[in-house]
Structure 1
Amino acid sequence: MDGLTYRPCVGVMLVNAEGRVFVGRRIDNREGDFWQMPQGGVDPGEDLRAAALRELAEETGLTPDKVSIIGRMEEPIRYDLPEELMGKLWGGRYRGQEQVWFCARFTGEDADVRLDAHDPPEFCDWKWVEPEQLPELIVPFKKRVYRAVVEAFGALA
């Protein structure tokens, strides 16, 4: 891991009118029943808010007219990949991710969600969950991140 940097990334905690949070099951993780919020890499020079809206659209099919950004964490959160994934993700260039998280209010209808909006899709299924469930649903090495996101945005949900 020496010399490896963190991949710039954004994440979105998408909250519906009932205060529940969108999670998707990754299409490429068949080893467990893990669910995650939309997230992804930031392109060089890309505005973070724009990156969050782009990633949300790619992973859920939701256009900016169906969401409203209502919060942003002040500080990014870093996590390291576990040993078994080191060198396998992102061309082996990163030790983990540095994520800037946004909270967005969903203003559309469930029928607006289209997991096939991007080719290839990242999620094979989705659902709404209570915010406090999030740390139990994510892969173990991201639990600390999800606890921080819930703590930061809990009142907004």
Structure 2
Amino acid sequence: MKRPAMTTRPDRDALPYRDCVGVAVFNAEGNVLIGRRKADPNSEDRSEVAAPWQMPQGGIDKGEDPLRAALRELHEETNIVSVSLLAEAPEWIHYDLPDEALGIALKGRYRGQRQRWFAFAFTGKPSEIDVETPGGGKFPAEFDAWRWEKLSRTPSLIVPFKKPAYEKVVEAFADIPQRFTHV
């Protein structure tokens, strides 16, 4: 019987965090948009399949302003362009990949992500939201479904290793849902 080849896991402390943005888009009822991550059949990274719902997020390009990155990622993942800025989280929010995803997820180059989170009010019509063919198909779909959800519930819907980060997002934007319900 042939034994599987042993793989060496990278040294977590030697890997950097990937700079990234996260986007909380609130509707008129004070709920946030979440998308269900589309499984990539060609990827070895199965780290997010167990709990696939999340808010839009993505990498910051070299030299790109985080706010611009947030607007770009939002459009690339959801087709949304009709938003107004409500808030920015006061600090970077980090998460670490679990050991089993280290060296695989995020192209194997990062230990996790350092995220700058922004909250926006959605000012468009529901027909603007298109996660299956964002940008008219110009961008690859990252989600296969979406819905509105209470911000406070998002930590229970996210993949477990991101839960502490989502708890910080909820804390940073905790007052925003009340802004909509008391208008």
- Structure 1 runs of 4+ off > 6 angstroms? none
Deviations 1:73-101 (A, max 9, x none): 11101111001111112221100000000
Q: Residue 149 of structure 1 is aligned with which of 159, 166, 169?
A: 169
Looking at structure 2, the residues matched to 153 and 68 of structure 1 have their Cα atoms a distance apart, in angstroms, of: 15
Q: Aligned match of 2:67 in 49, 52, 66?
A: 49
Counterpart in 2 of 1:126? 146
Instruction: Quote the Cα distance in structure 1 between the aligned partners of 2:163 and 2:106.
Output: 21
Task: List alignment gaps of at least 5 residues for structure 1.
Answer: none
Could you say what the CA RMSD is over the residues aligned between the two structures, in angstroms?
Answer: 1.3
Answer yes or no: is the 8 Å Cα contact 2:77–2:139 preserved in 1: no
Distance in 2, matches of 1:139 and 1:33, equals 5
Return the alpha-carbon distance in structure 1 between the equivalents of residues 99 and 29 of structure 2.
38
TM-score (norm 1): 0.94
CA distance in 2, matches of 1:128, 1:151: 19
Equivalent position to 1:103, from 119, 130, 136: 119
1:131-157 Cα deviation digits (max 9, x unpaired):
111011100001111111111101112
How far apart are residue 31 of structure 1 and its match?
A: 3.6
Structure 2 segments unaligned to the other structure (5+ residues):
1-11, 40-45, 178-183
TM-score of the two chains, using structure 2 as the length reference: 0.81
The alignment covers a number of residue pairs equal to: 155
Name the counterpart of 2:58: 40
Distance 1:31 1:73, change over 3 A: closer
Which structure would you say has the larger Rg? 2
Instruction: Tell me, in whole angstroms, the C-alpha distance in 2 between the residues paired with 1:62 and 1:31.
Output: 24
Superposed counterparts of 1:4-153, under 5 Å? 4-28=15-39, 31-63=49-81, 66-115=82-131, 116-117=133-134, 118-153=138-173
SS at match of 2:145: strand
Any idea what SS the aligned residue of 1:68 has?
A: strand
Q: Say which structure is richer in strand.
A: 1
How far has the Cα of 1:33 moved from its partner?
4.4
